Structure 1
Amino acid sequence: MLDDFLVRAALAGLGVAVAAAPLGCFVVWRRMAYFGDATSHAALLGVALALATDLPLFGGVLLAALGMALLLNRLTGRGLGSDALLGVLAHAALALGLVAVSFLPSVRIDLMSYLVGDILAVSKWDLVVIWTGAAAVLALVGWRWSALLSATLSPDMARASGVDPRREELILTLALAITVAVAIKVVGALLIAALLIIPAAAARPLARAPESMALVAMGIGASSALGGLTVSFVLDTPTGPTIVSLAAGLFALTQTLQAVRS
C-alpha cells in the first residue's frame, strides 16, 4: 500500500495537520504568528547544517528551529518590541539560511523543495519521522494542556495556581520546533507557519471551547491536506502551496459564515 506515492503523501499531510492544529491554536491565542515564522524560517539554516555535517535532515532542522525558538524566548521582553524582534529574526534566519546553502557548492540542492515542500517525494522513512514527531507533539501538548491553557489565558492566575508560565512557554517552543522539523518535507520553510496559523484561525468561529477549537482545527488542517493534494494532482499545481491555498479558502468560508451569523 505504501508503494503508492499518493498514499504516502496523504499520510504525510495528515501527520503534519494533526501535529500543527493544537499548536496553531496556541499561536493564535498568544498572537505569536511571527514566532512561527521565525522558527520555520530557521529551518533553512537547519537544512544547511544537516547537509554540511551529514546529519539527518530532521536532526539539523530540529536543532536550528529549537535554537531559534529558544533565542526568541530569551530575547522577548528585553526592550525591543516583540513584533519588531520577531520580524527581524524571521527574515534574518531565512536570508542566512539561503546564504549558508550557497556555501555548499559540492552538494546538489533542490532549494524549492525546502522552501515550499515536496510532499510527493515523501518516503516510508519520512512517514516514520513525521508520525513519530506528530505523536510526540500530541503527547506533549496533551500532557501539558491545562497548564499551557492556563499560562496562555492568564499568566498571573497561572502563577497563583502553581504553574510557571515561562516553563510552559518553553514546552510550547519545543513542540513548535518538532512540528517545523517534521513539516519541512511536506510544505517547506515558507509555508509551515501558514499551516500552523490558518486552520486554527479558521476553526475559531466554529468552536466554543479551546478543546473543540483544537479538534476543528485538526479537521480543517486534514481537509486542507487531502483536498490540496487532490486538487494539485488534478490541476498539476505545486502541492504545498495548493494545500495552504485551500486552507486559506476554508478560512475565508468560516469568516463569511461568522459575518452572516452576526
Structure 2
Amino acid sequence: MNQFFSLPRFGRLLRKHTTENLARYALGAAVLLGGMLVVMGFLSYLSGGISHVGQAVLFILFLMGAGSFFTSTMLGQFGVGSRAALALTLPASQFEKYLVAWLFSLPVFLAVFVADFYLADWLVLSFSRGDNTLLNVFGDAEAVITVGIVFLVLHGVALYGSIFFRQYQFIKTAFVFFLAATVLIFINYQVMKGVIGPEFRMAMPLGSVNLKNGPSLSLPDEQSRPILLPLLALLPLLWLAAYARLTEKQL
C-alpha cells in the first residue's frame, strides 16, 4: 500500500473525522447562523433593511472572521498532550491527515458558510420593513475573484498558524498577522511619502494613493489585476509550509 496516499485509507480517515466531529461542526454552524442573525437583524432594525452594499460588506466580514477562526483550529490537535499522541498515531499518512484538514477548512467550510449566510439574510430581509432583496454574492466576477484571493491567503496563514503554534492558535496567528500588516503599511507609507513628496497623504499597499487637496490616484482595472499575482504566489507556499510543519511533528 502506498505510504503517501491511499484512497481507501484516506476514505476511512475522512469518515472517522466526520463521525467524530459532525456534532461539533453542526453546533459551530448553528452558532455562526445565530450570530449572523443577531448582527444582521439588529442592523436591519436600525435602518429598516439591508442594502446590497451592506449585505456584501457583512458577507466579507463574516467570511474572513469565521473562516480564519475555523481554519486556525484544524491542525491544533497535533500540538501537545494526549490529543496529539492520538492524532499522530492514527494509521494514515501525514499528507492524508493534512488533506482532511484542508478539505474541511476550505471547500466544506465555504459551502456551509454560504448556506448559513443566505439563510440568515433571507430570514432577516423577510421580516424587515424595507423592500431590499437578497444579494447575489457571485454576481460581480471581479469582486468574487478579489475577495476569494484575500480569503485564500488568510486561509493559508490561519492553517499554518494552527500547526505552528501549540496553544491559542487563533489569537497568536491574528496578532502576528496584524503586526506584520502594520509594519507593511508603515513601510509602504514611508516609501510613498519619499517618492511623491509633501502632497502625499495616505496609501494602502496594493491600493490607491490619496493626495492632500487632490484626487485619489489608482491604476485602471486591467493594470491593477496583475498586482494580486504576488498574493496568489503565497498560497502554495503557505499550504506547503503548513504541511511541512505537520510532517515534523513526532511523539
Normalised TM-score (structure 2): 0.32
Higher relative contact order (CA 8 A, sep 6+): 1
- Specify the structure having the higher radius of gyration (Cα): 2
